[in-house]
């Protein structure tokens, strides 16, 4: 979880943010742009929940999307430069693809391997939605972006888990709350920039010339970058390929 306090302190954490809090945060994140909410989402109430719960959902969603985008941006650059693990990718000895066009590389990966990736993602999503005495859900007073620790035993995972997803080596254990808040603001800004960056890469690939700064830098791609599989399994039932 992003810059969460130690587990013992989490049980007492109760956080509800308002539109005024978002306006103050926006100034800290970007004094030039400030608070920008053209859809007026800061006053919304999703699914008949409170405005505070909706703000918690939106804050958590932005932080999570930013983290995924940072992974994608770095991964894109790594694969575009042909960097890969030297060992086999699959049990039959198949190596990691040598393709340097990231979306095309994803298309060459077997569906079995993709399902393994999606299964891990599904578990992480399930675990992130847990609300316990030591970890409040982000729509119920918890901290947006906070990822719960992996708990072993009768009330958690039925086998030892030596490392947590966030800060597995406890480097931030003694970090002050002020420094955690500063780093979270940096993470949000980096995540926003990464979202623009990865979509810029993909836009230029599927529509050459749409991002002039990337013309000739990224390779063109004629597939569907948002499709998880080459085969349209859902569409096949309706006669679509």
pLDDT of residue 152: 77
Query: What pTM does this model have?
Result: 0.85
Q: What is the pLDDT of residues 169-226, one digit of tens each?
A: 888 888 888 998 899 999 999 999 999 999 999 999 999 999 999 999 999 999 999 9
pLDDT of residue 241: 64
List, in order, residues 6 or more apart from 235 with CB less than 8 Å away.
241
pLDDT of residue 149: 86
Residues of the chain scoring pLDDT < 70: 1-15, 241
Coil/strand/helix, residue 66 = helix
pLDDT of residue 192: 97
Q: Which of 81, 66, 83, 107 is nearest to 199 (CA)?
A: 66
pLDDT of residue 70: 97
59-80 core/surface letters (b: 16 or more CB in 10 A; e: else): bbebbbebbebbebbeebeebb
List, in order, residues 6 or more apart from 19 with CB less than 8 Å away.
42, 43, 51, 55
According to DSSP, residue 212 is labeled G
Dihedral sign for Cα atoms in the order 194, 7, 132, 137? negative
Token pair 């005495």: residue: 133
């Amino acid at each position: 979880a992003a810059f969460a306090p130690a587990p013992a302190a989490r049980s007492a954490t109760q956080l509800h943010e308002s539109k005024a809090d978002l306006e103050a945060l926006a100034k800290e994140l970007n004094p030039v742009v400030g608070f920008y909410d053209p859809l007026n989402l800061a006053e919304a109430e999703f699914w008949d929940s409170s405005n505070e719960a909706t703000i918690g959902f939106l804050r958590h969603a932005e932080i999570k999307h930013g983290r995924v985008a940072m992974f994608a941006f770095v991964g894109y650059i790594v694969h575009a430069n042909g960097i890969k693990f030297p060992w086999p990718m699959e049990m039959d000895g198949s190596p990691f693809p040598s393709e340097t066009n990231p979306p095309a590389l994803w298309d060459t990966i077997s569906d079995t391997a993709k399902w393994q990736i999606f299964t891990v993602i599904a578990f992480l999503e399930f675990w992130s939605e847990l609300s316990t005495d030591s970890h409040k859900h982000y729509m119920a007073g918890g901290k947006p972006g906070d990822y719960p620790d992996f708990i072993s035993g009768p009330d958690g995972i039925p086998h030892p888990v030596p490392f947590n997803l966030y800060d597995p080596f406890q480097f931030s254990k003694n970090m002050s709350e002020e420094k955690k808040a500063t780093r979270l603001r940096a993470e949000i800004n980096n995540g926003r920039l990464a979202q623009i960056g990865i979509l810029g890469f993909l836009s230029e690939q599927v529509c050459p010339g749409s991002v002039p700064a990337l013309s000739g830098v990224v390779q063109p791609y004629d597939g569907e970058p948002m499709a998880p599989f080459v085969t349209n399994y859902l569409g096949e039932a309706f006669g679509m390929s």
